Amino acid sequence: MILPTTDQSVYSRLLTKTLVNNMERILDDYQPVEQAGFRKNFSCMDNIQAATQLIERSREYHLLLLVFVDYKKAFDSVETNAGLNALAHAGVPSVFIRLLEQCFSNTSTIILLFDRKLRIPIERRVRQRDKISPKLFTAALQYVEFGIRLGRQKIQYRREENLQPPLRRRYRIDSEQHGRDGNDGQRT
């Protein structure tokens, strides 16, 4: 089975790059500090330093459970409408959202089979080398209610206010008893 990939035209790439440049400040302000993966001037070292501080503090006060989530096919898992709704919630101007919606509608790719062109509609509408996909994904993650369900209980996140600046707003997990029954993690 051949899975089609979509290479954007030069004009489409230019438009999405311009939109990302205009929306980047709004979306970066919307994202929490702990989202270092797709933010300008942030790196994974910031998260490693925060995790180290959390581990040190947990030794002083209480048990700590850290959950690291690795999303499989992350960009493909976010529907276009969810990403656009998240952009609206983040305060992105509606004119940018409408332009993105037009970029994502009626997309297709063409493959050549035995000297015959076959047009295939793109269902997920997340394109390779698209500058907006990481921003849509992280905005959609921030838009949903955070928490992980383990068994019958839901682990909620809360901000850790006692960390040293600039690591002040990192996640800490409320629950202390999860992970003791051998169910240390789940695949998402």
Q: How far is CA 120 from CA 109, 110, 111, in A?
A: 5, 6, 8
For residue 64, give the nearest of 165, 182, 155, 188 by alpha carbon: 155
Residue 162 in any domain: the answer is: no
Q: Which domain holds residue 38?
A: 10-146
Residue 7's pLDDT band (boundaries 50, 70, 90)? Answer: low
Residue 51 in any domain: the answer is: yes
Residue 95's pLDDT band (boundaries 50, 70, 90)? Answer: very high
Residues 6+ positions from 137 with CB-CB distance below 8 Å: 38, 74, 75, 78, 83
Over the range 148-177, which residues count as b (16 or more CB within 10 Å of their CB) and which as e? bebeeeebebeebeebeeebeebbbbeeee
Q: Is the pLDDT of residue 168 over 60?
A: no
Residue 2 in any domain: the answer is: no
Contact between 16 and 131 (Cβ < 8 Å): yes
Residue 153 in any domain: the answer is: no
Residue 137 in any domain: the answer is: yes
The pLDDT of residue 111 is 86
Residue 130's pLDDT band (boundaries 50, 70, 90)? Answer: confident
Find where tokens 């993650």 sit.
Answer: 141
Q: Look up residue 123 and give its two tokens.
A: 């269902």
What's the structural domain count of the chain?
A: 1
The pLDDT of residue 94 is 93
Mean per-residue pLDDT for 54-74? Answer: 73
Backbone dihedral angles phi then psi of residue 3, each to the nearest 5 degrees? -95, 125
Residue 34 in any domain: the answer is: yes
